[in-house]
Structure 1
């Protein structure tokens, strides 16, 4: 097994770029003989002539031209690795705020991808209600937040539009009862929109469970004691979308907004913003509007 040496490749690229050993030596802060020795060692290891020395100036052979492209890529990758693992610019912490109901399934994948790119940068994940996250963001306690809202405030960007759907127990029948039994957290942003939709069609309802705990809501709904509403695709496995065939009112679309992503700050910040945008793709917009 033969292994190419990055230092030798760097000398080879310097000679190719500068057009001569002398200039390359000055650029690399090496002696001319040291650079010549590295080039000779590289040619011997590959068993190829890389430089055409017949003319007054040094030129690359066909093999040298082919190697040059690979050498540039290997040097760039080497330098990227060193920078990512040792540069203080790739250390630190970012606080990301995400509403409880959209953490899954997108955020774990975002965190995994980000950690692979910046293993020394810690993401502090804050899962809370949209209202609380916006207050934290305004105080500077969160660097980036996602929200679920019917509209977007100044400084935010809508990265997805998602349907709000009725959820109940698998095979449940509570949704057929009147008044309709609801289970919602006190500060859930979906709650007023759900009750407004029911009032608009004069459907009687009662808030059978009013709590601060998402787990309590999930337990009650999965036990078929009440119904709830969430963004389509984010429902827990023990709850399912109700196929009500028009017996319940249609619920409005919700916007998934991103705050803190407009101004480019640095590679770390911008990479996280890009991953979040991709995870909550706006490709759903056209389909949902057309429905």
Structure 2
């Protein structure tokens, strides 16, 4: 009877979920060669090809796809046993604040990975606007926050810089109308910059909705009743980036910043911050 090694399976799962050996090695704190060797040993043990190496992009073979389901369960069960039967894991709660528009796609993956490493630490996720999150952080109500803003405070760290893009309904025409109808939240930090850019071009505009709900904004834009501005890479599938060919002004670059306060949870907070850094620098 041959036995599968959980460490090797963990590397295989990381490569499959993160899309490559380099990212998996960074997440696992291993060298690329170590991860590649583990994959090779796993393939030799099973006498199967698990990774399709015919192209630059990492993809799984049919056998690899089948193994992935088992591997996830085995790694998860291993981590559950270790967390239940040892007293070495940190316990407590970390409050993480994230602006609505950058929760997807990165944050759910970070939460999943953090839970695997610190199963006894609970992460309380708050979503709000950058201004409100920064106020909560200053009051000590939130341990870690991400922000989207043009600048950065002295205690912050920039993870990524991305352009704002005009978005609208697929094949929509709202962007051609004048005055241009806009959909922004009342407290959206992108709102004033977008309006200034339109006024600098002499383009008339009007606000189509006054809301604090992202769903209301998305529904209005999806119905081709208005346009909005979103960070590159955060557009939901039911909207599209507007190919306006210069008819609309270019929008500003925005920083995705990280702020973290250590309240006796140093190891866990730093691990969470490391995973956020990795997720947003690769987004």
Q: Distance in 2 between matches of 1:202 and 1:87?
A: 64
TM-score by length of 1: 0.67
Q: Which residue of 2 aligns with 1:223?
A: 223
Q: Which residue of 1 aligns with 2:157?
A: 157
Q: Deviations over 1:98-139 (max 9, x none)?
A: 000000000011011111111111100000000110011011
Q: Which residue of 2 aligns with 1:192?
A: 192
Structure 2 unmatched ranges of 5 or more: 4-77
Q: RMSD of the TM alignment (CA)?
A: 2.3
User: Residues 84 and 190 (structure 1 numbering): CA distance in 2 closer, same or farther, change over 3 Å?
Assistant: farther
User: Residues 110 and 88 (structure 1 numbering): CA distance in 2 closer, same or farther, change over 3 Å?
Assistant: same
Q: Distance in 1 between matches of 2:89 and 2:256?
A: 30
Q: Distance in 1 between matches of 2:84 and 2:256?
A: 31
Offset, 1:190 = 0.2
Asked whether 1:112 is paired with 2:116, we answer no
Offset, 1:261 = 6.2
TM-score by length of 2: 0.69
Q: Deviations over 1:198-240 (max 9, x none)?
A: 0111111111111111111000000000000010110111111
Offset, 1:148 = 0.3
Q: Which residue of 1 aligns with 2:98?
A: 98
Structure 1 unmatched ranges of 5 or more: 4-77, 285-291
User: Residues 83 and 173 (structure 1 numbering): CA distance in 2 closer, same or farther, change over 3 Å?
Assistant: closer
Offset, 1:276 = 0.3
User: Residues 213 and 87 (structure 1 numbering): CA distance in 2 closer, same or farther, change over 3 Å?
Assistant: same
Q: Distance in 2 between matches of 1:182 and 1:249?
A: 14
Offset, 1:267 = 2.1
Q: Which residue of 2 aligns with 1:277?
A: 277
Q: Distance in 2 between matches of 1:155 and 1:168?
A: 36
